[in-house]
Amino acid sequence: MLRPRVSPCLLIRNGGLVKTRQFGEDKYVGDPINAVKIFNEKSVDELIVIDIDASKNGVEPDYKLIKKLADESRMPLCYGGGVMSVEQVQRIIQLGVEKVALSSALLEAPDLATRLSEVVGRQSVVAVLDVKKSFLKGYEVYIGNGKVKVKGGLLSWLDSLQTQGVGEFLINSIERDGMQGGYDLSLAKLVKQNVSVPVTFLGGASSLDDIGNLVETVGLVGCAAGSLFVFKGKYRAVLINYPSFDEKFKLITERLMKYEQS
């Protein structure tokens, strides 16, 4: 049976792991290679790694770090940050990364998705959409670490990027980032109803129950989280963690059955 993916999302700044709140207040949480080693032992479905400064600062991806991550990882790896061209994506894939995530590059030139899908395959092209709810205009898309609003609403970008050849969406709620108040289920339902490719949701998870709520609401999707897998307890003590296979399987199977029966 197909099951939703549960994916830790690690943010990199200046070569170290950080965790943010609403794209600010970043807290250092350790070394990325050590985190990968720990997740290797926990049978993680997929690991997402995003360099949150590379695109903002207009610098090349850190290929040395990417190679170290790919060499160490025994799970599927998705990398994003500073990726702007077909050549960069090819190089990253050649280093052993399964998927490459792009944000501003696709929003500035949507036809890039078409060229990428022709070269590396649609399944390896992930569009990251950082979104925030507007009082009057619904959900809107932002770049520049959530600072610059992009013209066109979320639904318009979902349609355009799917048509151009994006193979997956990573939908990140700016308002829920690091707040640990649960996923934006209204956002999840809206996106799921308007995409025909795989989608992963990020932003807000504080417990396995939040993941269960997401699965029960929208079914077969990717469930990504940062704080949930790097912090423990109300004081946010740093502890890399991930649910056991049995714990995750039981939770997701039960919630997926409720979704299918609804």
Active-site residue list: 130
Q: Which two tokens stand for residue 139?
A: 């959900």
Dist CA 209 CA 118 (whole Å): 39
Dihedral of CA atoms 109, 57, 64, 227 in degrees, nearest 10, equals -90
What is the residue whose two structure tokens read 């903002």?
Answer: 56
Close Cβ partners of 42 (under 8 Å, ≥ 6 residues apart) = 241, 242, 244
| Residues pairing with 185 in the sheet | none
Looking from the CA of 99 toward its CB, the CA atoms found within 13 Å total 25
Dist CA 34 CA 257 (whole Å): 36
> For the chain, what is the total number of helices (H) and then of strands (E)?
11, 14
Stated as kind and residue range, the H or E segment containing 237 is: strand 237-238
Name the packing angle between helices 154-164 and 112-120 (round to 10°).
Answer: 40
